[in-house]
Amino acid sequence: MISRIPQQLTKRFFSNPLLFMFISALLVYIVYDTYIKATSGSHLIPINVMALMAGVIFESKRITSRWVLVVIIGLVSFFIAFAFLNFVNNADSHSRYGLGDVFTLSIRIWPSIFLVLYFIFSLLFYKYRIIPKLTEGITLLQSIAVIYWAIDYDFITSTNIVMQTFLVIGLLFSLFSIFHAFTNTHLSNTHKLILSIWSSIIMFLFAVDNLHIIDEPAPIEITANILKILYLGLQYFLLGISSIYIIQNFIMLFRFIPRPGKFFNSKYFNSVRKLKGDHINRYSDNQVSPLHSLICIVFISTIFFLNYYYQFVPKQFIIWIVIVTFPFFINAFNYIFLGKKR
């Protein structure tokens, strides 16, 4: 059966013309940038930007299971960049830029326009599809991760009363998620709301904390060590993934805050009522297997403990690696040992 996986992936690739064209164009760019343009010592799109975009596309594709949005926005954003620069170039009587130079500059600014448009279109047309379904297993994983996060930051030794209060509240939420992961307690709407809000808080904290890599002082391209390049590229890939959750969970939390025109009036309470519905609807009624919960705690806790003790990689890095890879691990476990495809 394993031998069929490459065949299935190949069939899916060639059966989707938009995906085929998008990947083909990307490969052409990589060849051009690596073997032609890079001889001048510069890259049209830096590696860190490419990795960032790859993370955004990977996570949104995993959530929505559609390539159409990615390809269309990619083409539209490049057209906007090219049309804008061409208009400015033609309007400037002293401009010496040729069509080829405008094309090159369009490629340089395309990633920024692509990311902005991608987030806007995702929020407008895929409001619910970019919000992945939550389960007891996901909140369990997140709760274990946030406990490790607090321990690694040494928050638990703080004598600040405010910090201690937040730690106690966080521990109670974590215990609540662990309780649900190991029991068949009915997931009422109130419980779904609590677990969903707790998940939003955790993911928003992780995502914002992951922004530290933007302060990387030097471009990846000038790094001599290939392992260092791969490591930094992977960090930006994870930042792209986390950016989905920065926007998503910021909105899910920010909408609870009163604003001008909605300051504890009927409009505000109607908005909060709808927001509660969004939180409840995104939480699955399916209950996780206690076996999966046990595997999650043992496997993830072991990884976090080893990284805490030996400090292999930064806490943000290991947390996002676990968040991204554990669903694949549990699917592989089900397929190998339980004979389930998912």
| Same domain as 192, residue 209 | yes
Say if residue 99 is in the same domain as residue 123: yes
Residue 60 lies in a domain: no
**Predicted pLDDT of residue 1:** 37
Task: Quote the mean pLDDT of the chain.
Answer: 78
pLDDT digits (tens, 9 = 90+) for 198-217: 999 998 898 888 877 666 55
193 shares a domain with 321: yes
Count up the domains in the chain and report the number. 3
Greater confidence (66 vs 149) lies with 149
- Choose the weakest-confidence range: 64-68, 230-234, 323-327: 64-68
Same domain? 119 vs 144: no
Q: State pLDDT tens for residues 107-144.
A: 778 788 888 877 777 666 655 555 667 899 999 999 99
Whether residues 118 and 200 fall in one domain: no
User: Which tens digit of pLDDT belongs to each residue from 259-271?
Assistant: 777 777 788 888 8
In the block, which residue shows the tokens 């297993």? 137
In a domain, 51, yes or no: no
pLDDT band at 48 (very low <50, low <70, confident <90, very high): confident
* Statement to judge: residues 113 and 145 lie in one domain: no
Whether residues 124 and 152 share a domain: the answer is no
Residues 174-202: pLDDT tens digits?
A: 999 999 999 999 999 999 999 999 999 99
Range with the poorest average pLDDT among 23-27, 52-56, 87-91, 331-335: 23-27
Looking at the fold, whether 2 and 123 belong to one and the same domain comes out as no
Tell me the mean pLDDT in the region 22-47. Answer: 59
In this predicted structure, what is the pLDDT of residue 14?
Answer: 46
Question: 293: domain range?
Answer: 136-338
Asked if the structure places residue 58 within a domain, the reply is no
**Residue 301 domain-assigned (yes or no):** yes
Residues 169 and 287 in one domain: yes
